[in-house]
A and B are shown apart, each in its own frame.
Chain A
């Protein structure tokens, strides 16, 4: 079963605005990770948040985790055209494998 499910599926914003993407998951996790994928490229690891953490920051990224609701959000502040990409959440449960959602396609218009 799919671990992560992101919404919205697609998001289009103007440069300088904030972008928020949400992720819901079904089973318990040890941690949740967010990745970025530029069109036709590999995945770049953005941030990992453990199940006992509620919020984490990295530069313009802010991730929250609510284990009671089985949900996470990724906020990108002051977006840039270069942030245009697909963003995936991936849960890691009782094994090493990552279980990915289908992703949010973000377009930042200059």
Chain B
């Protein structure tokens, strides 16, 4: 019973390039959440998606960041024209049901380094 999978685990990009981070939720889960963690900080919510729908993107920067969760395939977090400040660990979580008081299961994260 595989958990949440993220790839790549480590990603190095030069300034100005694009970064694509993938998240496959746990089997049977249709709710995906993306969080960002800066060094020595807690996680900050970015976006909450269900299949083909963005439910809450209140934590997403207004420019360069986008997320999708298509009907088939993994959820993608896309960062265009990366800058050094985008260097962080990006975590994806999934749950089987939306709403409150349901556990979110986290993936191992993608560590993005922008050089």
Cβ 8 A contact of B42, one of A40, A41, A92, A100: A100
A82 proximity list for chain B (CB < 8 A) = none
A50 at the binding interface (Cβ < 8 Å): yes
Cβ 8 A contact of A100, one of B43, B58, B105: B43
A44 at the binding interface (Cβ < 8 Å): yes
A103 proximity list for chain B (CB < 8 A) = 42
Chain A residue nearest to B104 in the complex (CB):
A98
Report the interface size for chain B: residues with CB under 8 A from the other chain.
31
Interface residues of B in 29-45 (CB under 8 A from A): 31, 33, 35, 40-45
Q: How many A-B residue pairs have CB under 8 A?
A: 68
Interface residues of B in 96-115 (CB under 8 A from A): 98-109, 111
A44 proximity list for chain B (CB < 8 A) = 106
B45 touches A97 (CB 8 A): yes
**Which residues does B use to contact A, with CB under 8 Å?**
4, 31, 33, 35, 40-45, 48, 55-56, 58-59, 91, 93, 95, 98-109, 111
* A-B pairs with lowest CB-CB distance, top 10: A100-B42, A97-B45, A43-B106, A42-B108, A30-B100, A42-B106, A100-B43, A102-B42, A31-B101, A45-B103
**Which residues does A use to contact B, with CB under 8 Å?**
2, 4, 30-31, 33, 35, 40-45, 48, 50, 88, 90, 92, 95-103
Q: List 16 A-B contacts (CB under 8 A).
A: A31-B100, A43-B43, A45-B103, A45-B104, A48-B103, A50-B101, A90-B43, A96-B31, A96-B33, A96-B98, A96-B102, A98-B33, A100-B42, A100-B43, A101-B42, A102-B42
